[in-house]
């Protein structure tokens, strides 16, 4: 049941263009005949929301949704859509408060276009805007480290942007920034696998194993870590070098602590290290982090404890993994 839930969660997070196009087409049809039946506008809005749900990277889906909201005179709904777009772009939804007192019905479409023009949803359009400009890429790297990309859609959006950076030769930047994305959304197993493959190509086998281990932890069906161990065994059998051993406990702990440090949003220090001037234990800290919605940080702390051999922590890791998938 948990595995099925994980698969469903993953399918909803990743853009599905065909379904997005289908729902957008239906939304347009209902909008066109909205005058014939009052219910048609509601059907149009429902289909438009589905189009964004299934493909948030297509600007056409956002346009039709806002257009319908304007037709409905739904100012609150427009605000919600704009807040959602800002979240997907990794920006602070609090910025929408600057719109207080502004007529959203009359300006929402222009605002939507302005946001998508400055920060395109489609990764190819975004790369075309960057146009290989080194200063623009550097600015992007600095900005990404300050963004909240814990939303799964934002994480996927920036992962695809990083793919364009990698494809254009910026491998070191790709490796560095990928860790920031994964520190906020560690259950993105595909990104862990991609990172592992890059380390493996660079013959940094310890880092490759650590990434594959994360991938298989979050999605056991991937078998990334197991396949890697088989490849390493074949490498030794082929007399291509000395036998390779997986990283030891100290290396795993160091890796998980580093990821935990990156997971602290906006470089804020953890505020859960004490309670009523009494030093709290790690399990209580994990529960406080979970209660505060800081699942990534809680995960890496629990995973570190499990790596140290704490069997109770292994159970907590499983609970957090399920909580991440539900989230």
Amino acid 238: pLDDT = 55
Cα angle 269-271-274, degrees, rounded to a multiple of 5 = 130
Dihedral of alpha carbons 272, 274, 276, 281, sign: positive
Distance CA 210, CA 196 (A): 8
53 near 21, Cβ under 8 Å?
Answer: no
Q: Give me the half-sphere count of Cα atoms (radius 13 Å) on the Cβ side of residue 297.
A: 24
Give the pLDDT of residue 263. 85
pLDDT for the residue numbered 266: 47
Q: Are 224 and 215 in contact (CB under 8 A)?
A: yes
The answer to whether 219 touches 6, Cβ cutoff 8 Å, is yes
Closest CA to 52 of 17, 80, 93, 96: 17
Below-50 pLDDT ranges, the chain: 1-12, 266-277
Phi, psi (rounded to 5 degrees) for 205? -70, -30
How many other β-carbons are positioned within 10 Å of the β-carbon of residue 170?
Answer: 18
Q: Are 213 and 259 in contact, with CB atoms under 8 Å apart?
A: no
- What angle in degrees, to the nearest 10, is found between the helix axes of 134-144 and 171-184? 20
Interatomic CA distance for residues 206 and 248, integer angstroms: 9
Q: How many CB atoms lie within 10 A of CB 55?
A: 23
- pLDDT by residue (tens digit) across 148-193? 888 889 999 999 999 999 998 889 999 999 999 999 999 888 899 9
What pLDDT is stored for residue 38 in this prediction? 81
Query: Looking at domain 124-237, does it have CATH number 1.25.40.10?
Result: yes
């Amino acid at each position: 049941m948990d595995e099925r839930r994980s698969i469903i969660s993953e399918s909803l997070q990743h853009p599905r263009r065909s379904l997005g196009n289908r729902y957008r087409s239906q939304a347009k049809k209902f909008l066109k005949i909205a005058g014939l039946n009052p219910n048609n506008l509601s059907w149009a809005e429902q289909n438009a929301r589905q189009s964004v749900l299934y493909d948030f990277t297509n600007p056409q889906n956002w346009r039709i949704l806002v257009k319908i909201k304007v037709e409905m005179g739904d100012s609150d709904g427009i605000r919600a859509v704009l807040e959602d777009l800002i979240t997907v772009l990794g920006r602070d939804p609090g910025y929408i408060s600057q719109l207080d007192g502004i007529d959203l019905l009359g300006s929402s479409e222009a605002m939507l276009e302005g946001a998508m023009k400055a920060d395109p949803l489609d990764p190819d359009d975004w790369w075309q805007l960057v146009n290989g400009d080194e200063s623009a890429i550097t600015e992007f790297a600095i900005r990404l480290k300050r963004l909240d990309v814990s939303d799964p859609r934002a994480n996927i959006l920036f992962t695809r942007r990083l793919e364009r950076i990698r494809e254009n030769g910026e491998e070191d930047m790709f490796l560095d920034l990928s860790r920031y994305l994964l520190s906020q959304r560690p259950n993105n197993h595909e990104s862990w696998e991609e990172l592992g493959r890059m380390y493996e190509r660079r013959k940094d086998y310890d880092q490759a194993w650590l990434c594959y281990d994360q991938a298989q932890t979050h999605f056991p069906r991937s078998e990334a870590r197991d396949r890697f161990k088989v490849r390493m065994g074949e490498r030794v059998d082929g007399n291509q070098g000395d036998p390779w051993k997986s990283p030891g406990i100290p290396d795993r702990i160091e890796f998980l602590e580093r990821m935990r440090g990156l997971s602290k949003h906006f470089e804020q220090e953890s505020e859960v290290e004490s309670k009523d001037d009494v030093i709290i234990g790690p399990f209580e800290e994990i529960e406080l982090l979970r209660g505060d919605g800081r699942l990534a940080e809680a995960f890496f702390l629990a995973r570190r404890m499990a790596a140290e051999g704490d069997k109770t922590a292994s159970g907590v890791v499983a609970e957090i993994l399920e909580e991440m998938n539900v989230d």
